[in-house]
Amino acid sequence: MNFDVEFFFSIFPKLMLKIPHTLWLGCIAFAIAFVLGLLLEICYTSKNVVLRKLAGLYISYFRSTPYITQLFIFYFGLPQLFPVMKNIVGSTALVITIAMNSAAFIAEIIRGGLLSVDKGQREAALSIGLSPVSMYKEIILPQAFIAAFPALGNSFIMMIKNTAIGFTIGVVDILAQAKILAASTLNFFEAYISVGVVYWIVLVVIDKILKHMEARICKYL
């Protein structure tokens, strides 16, 4: 088999054009997932039994089933039950399902961050007269955020990679663009390697940025 070096390098500029779109999808999904994950954690630790059970069921389902199954159920299955969803475009369905899937993991990350703070600090804060709100704002949440930040960063990276599955429902991201470019020449092998290189470069840069942010957060909080 001959490796088409010229094609391999020629498609990089066209793949690079899809990077902003891919990052945009990942950022929106992460923002939604973080808020939803925080709400899930609040429900999961609530004194209300119904809320705890519902949150536990949600987390269990989305952590235990393949993401692509969740995407197909949302995009192909639910519109058959709810016709109003037939107007949802692929990119919207992709962002929503990535967020719903990742929220289950983020809820556990947030819980782990909160549990990492020693209970003695809570007791000490309350003993000197701090209100529960002030205690969480000034003492608990800053430390919990530092503890959870690396795992949250990993979740963000996973969301960026999960956007590649969007090509199965017609979302034209980096992977879909490579498939389109390779269709006329059948150079799919070269195209997929190019996709891997592009994702690798992008995620290495993101990882460096996250590590820099982590160092600064640990320094100033």
pTM of the model: 0.87
pLDDT of 14 > 60? The answer is yes
Say yes or no: 159 and 188 in one domain: no
Say yes or no: 89 and 184 in one domain: no
Compute how many other C-beta atoms are within 10 angstroms of the C-beta atom of residue 23: 14
Q: Report how far residue 58's alpha carbon sits from residue 52's, in angstroms, rounded to the nearest whole number.
A: 10
Interval 118-122 mean pLDDT: 78
Domain CATH code at residue 90: 1.10.3720.10
At residue 131, the pLDDT reads: 77
Per-range mean pLDDT, top range of 7-21, 91-105, 173-187: 91-105
Tally the domains of the chain.
2
Say yes or no: 83 and 2 in one domain: no
111 Cβ contact partners less than 8 Å away, ≥ 6 residues apart? 41, 44, 45
Say yes or no: 12 and 114 in one domain: no
At residue 220, the pLDDT reads: 57
Sign of the C-alpha dihedral computed for residues 50, 54, 59 and 60 taken in this order: positive
Three-class secondary structure assignment of the chain: CCCCHHHHHHCHHHHHCCHHHHHHHHHHHHHHHHHHHHHHHHHHCCCCHHHHHHHHHHHHHHHHCCHHHHHHHHHHHHHHHCHHHHHCCHHHHHHHHHHHHHHHHHHHHHHHHHHCCCHHHHHHHHHCCCCHHHHHHHHHHHHHHHHHHHHHHHHHHHHHHHHHHHHHHCCCCHHHHHHHHHHCCCCHHHHHHHHHHHHHHHHHHHHHHHHHHHHHHHHHC
Say yes or no: 5 and 58 in one domain: no
Say yes or no: 124 and 27 in one domain: yes
- For 143-190, what is each residue's pLDDT tens digit? 888 888 889 999 999 999 999 999 899 888 898 899 888 888 888 898
pLDDT of 72 > 70? The answer is yes
Per-residue pLDDT band at 200 (split at 50, 70, 90): very high
Say yes or no: 130 and 88 in one domain: yes
Per-residue pLDDT band at 86 (split at 50, 70, 90): confident
Q: Which domain holds residue 181?
A: 1-18+173-221
Say yes or no: 160 and 190 in one domain: no
At residue 196, the pLDDT reads: 93
At residue 217, the pLDDT reads: 76
Say yes or no: 7 and 35 in one domain: no
Interval 28-43 mean pLDDT: 93
Q: What is the mean pLDDT of the chain?
A: 88
Say yes or no: 58 and 145 in one domain: yes
pLDDT of 221 > 70? The answer is no
Say yes or no: 75 and 52 in one domain: yes
pLDDT of 114 > 70? The answer is yes
Say yes or no: 50 and 143 in one domain: yes
Interval 49-75 mean pLDDT: 93
CA 45 vs CA 38, 57, 87, 115: distances in Å: 11, 13, 36, 12
At residue 158, the pLDDT reads: 93
pLDDT of 1 > 70? The answer is no
